[in-house]
Amino acid sequence: MEKIPLYIDNQDNKGSGKSFKNYNPATGEVIHEVSGTSPDDFEKAIHSAKQGFKVWSAKSPTERGRILQKASQLLRARNDELAQIEVMDAGKPIREALEVDVTSGADCLEYYAGIAASLHGDHIDLGGDFAYTRREPLGICAGIGAWNYPLQIACWKAAPALACGNVMIFKPAEVTPLSAYKLAKIFTEAGLPDGVFNVVQGDAEVGQMMTKHPAIAKVSITGEVDTGKKVMAASAATLKHVTLELGGKSPIVIFEDADLDEAVHGVMLGNFYTQGEICSNGTRVFVHASVKEDFLDKLIQRTRALKVGDPSDPDTHVGALISKDHFEKVMQYIALGQEQGAELACGGKQVEVKGCEGGYFIEPTIFIAPEDNLRIVKEEIFGPVMTVLTFTEEEEVLQRANNTPFGLAAGVFTRDLRRAHRMVAGLEAGMCWINTFNINPVEIPFGGYKQSGIGRENGLAAIEHYTQLKTVYVAMDKMVNPF
């Protein structure tokens, strides 16, 4: 069985930490052994990153962009192979991985490759004297990934970091170790100097090595809210910069004038794509009471037609949940929803998939909830479980939509232009969609309000989070000495 190594200095590194197993969520079978990262290995990664930073930060931005551009081309050329790796590692349907996972990573590299050479400071005229600002890299950045979009997350962190002249040590989630390693090898092939993108493998303990290490200037993590809090607390000891991309329980509001077919499409996309394992999912669906019956009829009919199955089958719409533990957690929420009085309108059961008997499959599930106070309405489930609630007044639904500690995303479906913009102005969420949902091209900033995160990924906004500003005052005349 292939053993996945660490990747330090553009080379495989066997690692001396405790190795661990990597499972295919669709079958429950072990697919790889993975090298673990010991504190000594981590020091090697740091040493290598320090050397890498000297070389990389001295390169011209155009040259940095050229290498990122090449990496993006290599990703696209290997789309199918990498998509299959994501399917095997994360259990997501191949039809999604072929379309989204690799291309969104490649888009991100391409976008920041294009931006690298245009980064600049400002000139500030002081009437004789003047000042200028330099936008400088932070140094060694740590990237810590979640397991739902392993390759995309690695690219979303690496691309802006590297474009700005930083170097990165990246730790993928323990359960999805493969694609970050493949990305590192692609970077090597694209000409990235040694030490600019190192990959360490392991669990939270390795994550803690990153958040504690004084040589690391910044940590960018995608993960749960509680993990984000721990990362921020640990980073505070050395005042690291942090970007936190955390969980959500996002609302989708469907007004009575909405195109109901489009709205159904939006809520399905926002709940069942990647088995519901998407941070920005709109799992609280508020539908106007006057269109509730129509909406539910269409929604349930279309949801029942989804095929839950072997993720490598091109006909499959809904794949396997990431692990046994996570599967059990989602099933417990489904049981809890029923105990607390929500009506199970669709799904709710485990699915046995032929040829994937050891996998973790759950039917796309729709609850009709009598009120907002149920745990399935309030807590992030991170599986294919949607709750539908009803409302009658705009002000009321806005207040209910915002009544959550999360603030990652929100969606509004209506044909009324003014109402749409009024609603999104009032919604406490970092990412809002009007008449669509969960579309995240790299050009637009993405990130959360409230406990869903700090900082932004993608767009020009990410540049702010991977650079620091140096101000230089230039005296053009002799100093006036007051003493």
Catalytic residues: 157, 245, 279, 457
Among 7, 53, 111, 147, binds ligand NDP (CB under 6 A): 147
Strands (E), 343-415: 343-346, 365-368, 385-391, 409-413
- Determine the residue type at 370: P
Given candidates 203, 257, 313, 379, which one binds ligand NDP under the rule CB under 6 A?
A: 203
- Per DSSP, the residues of 74-136 read HHHHTHHHHHHHHHHHH---HHHIIIIIHHHHHHHHHHHHHHHTT----EEE-SSSEEEEEEE
Shortest distance, CB of residue 379 to ligand NDP, whole angstroms?
A: 10
Assess contact for 218 and 466: CB atoms under 8 A.
yes
Choose the binding region for ligand NDP from 39-47, 84-92, 108-116, 166-174 (rule: CB under 6 A). Answer: 166-174
Q: Would you count residue 195 as binding ligand NDP (CB under 6 A)?
A: no
**Does residue 70 sit in helix, strand or coil?**
helix
Residue 293: phi and psi, rounded to 5, are -65, -45
Within residues 375-414, the interface with ligand NDP by CB under 6 A covers 380, 382, 408
Q: Does 462 bind ligand NDP (CB under 6 A)?
A: no
Interaction of residue 34 with ligand NDP, rule CB under 6 A: no
Cβ proximity to ligand NDP, 219 vs 296, nearer residue: 219
Tokens 């101000």 belong to: 471
Number of residues lying near ligand NDP (CB under 6 A): 30
Binds ligand NDP by CB under 6 A, chosen from 73, 208, 312, 435: 208
Q: Could you give the 3-state DSSP secondary structure of residue 244? A: strand
Name the strands in the sheet holding 123-125, side by side, starting at the edge strand that comes first in the sequence: 123-125, 130-137, 467-474
| Of residues 211 and 387, the one with the C-beta less far from ligand NDP | 211
* Binders of ligand NDP in range 114-143 (CB under 6 A): none
Integer Rg of the chain from CA: 24
**Cα torsion for 230, 233, 234, 238, to the nearest 10°?**
160
Interface residue with ligand NDP among 13, 103, 211, 243 (CB under 6 A) is 211
Q: Is 223 in the site for ligand NDP (CB under 6 A)?
A: yes
Q: Which stretch binds ligand NDP (CB under 6 A): 178-186, 245-253, 294-302, 388-396?
A: 245-253
Indicate whether 110 belongs to the interface with ligand NDP (CB under 6 A).
Answer: no
Give the shortest CB-419-to-ligand NDP separation in angstroms.
Answer: 27
Collapsing DSSP states into helix, strand and coil, what is residue 197? Answer: strand
| Binding of ligand NDP by 6 (CB under 6 A) | no
Query: Which of 104, 188, 227, 271 touches ligand NDP (CB under 6 A)?
Result: 227
What is the smallest separation between the CB atom of 35 and ligand NDP, expressed in angstroms?
14
Stretch that binds ligand NDP, among 131-139, 157-165, 167-175, 420-428 (CB under 6 A): 167-175
**Based on CB atoms, which residue is closest to ligand NDP, 234 or 300?**
234
Query: Which CB sits closer to ligand NDP, 148 or 188?
Result: 148
Q: Which of 89, 107, 174, 310 binds ligand NDP (CB under 6 A)?
A: 174
Buried b (16+ CB within 10 A) or exposed e, 326-347: bbeebbebbeebeebebeebbb
What spatial distance separates the first Cα and last Cα of the chain, rounded to whole Å? 76
Single residue of 24, 38, 148, 414 touching ligand NDP by CB under 6 A: 148
Name the minimum Å distance from CB 117 to ligand NDP.
27
Contacts with ligand NDP in 261-280 (CB under 6 A)?
Answer: 279
Residues 6+ apart with CB under 8 A from 63: none
Query: Does 91 interact with ligand NDP (rule: CB under 6 A)?
Result: no
* Sequential DSSP letters for 270-339: HHHGGGG--TT---EEEEEGGGHHHHHHHHHHHHHTPPB--TTSTT-SB---S-HHHHHHHHHHHHHHHH
Please tell me whether residue 230 binds ligand NDP under the rule CB under 6 A.
Answer: yes
Helix axes 150-163, 102-116, angle to 10 degrees: 0
Helix, strand and coil percent figures for the chain, each rounded to 5? 40, 20, 35
Summarize as ranges the residues that interact with ligand NDP (CB under 6 A): 144-148, 171, 173-174, 203-204, 207-208, 211, 221-224, 227, 230-231, 245-248, 279, 380, 382, 408, 448, 453
